[in-house]
Every structure is written in structure tokens, then in C-alpha cells.
Amino acid sequence: NASQIKQNFQQSAEFIIISDIDDILFPKLGGNYLEEFRRLASSYPLAAGFSYNRYNTEIISSNSKLYNIYNTF
């Protein structure tokens, strides 16, 4: 569970993401997850955690060989 993960990794991880394996998080405040979380932590220094809105999405590609998720945004 989340408290065991925090206990096991608190010495080696600056941030821990607890998410479903099929969820995709797109950083908007930074170029990567680490920048994103550092900016949030800097803006909200007393926050114990952060949550993101989830959206159910479906993408249909006519040619899966040419499909690239980064080209959809």
C-alpha cells in the first residue's frame, strides 16, 4: 500500500507517483516529471501530495506503425 511504498523508498526517491499502470501523465509545468513535481513542491511547500484530473480518452489510428502518441497533442 502507499504507506509501505513511502517507507521503503523515502530515502532514495524525491517523489513517488501512485497511479494505475495504464494512466499517462503529461507534465505541463515542466519538461519532465521531476521538473513538474519540483515546481509544484516549490509553489506549495506545505502540500503533502498533488492530484491530477483524469480523462478517459480513446485514440484510433488507421496505421499503427505510424502512430506516435506525442503527435496527438
Is 80 exceeded by the pLDDT of residue 70?
no
Closest CA to 37 of 15, 20, 18, 9: 15
Cα separation, 29 vs 41, whole angstroms? 12
Cα separation, 3 vs 22, whole angstroms? 22
Whole-model pTM?
A: 0.63
Residue 9's pLDDT is 81
Is 70 exceeded by the pLDDT of residue 4?
yes
Residue 35's pLDDT is 93
Tens-place pLDDT, residues 14-60: 888 888 888 888 888 988 989 999 999 999 999 988 888 888 877 67
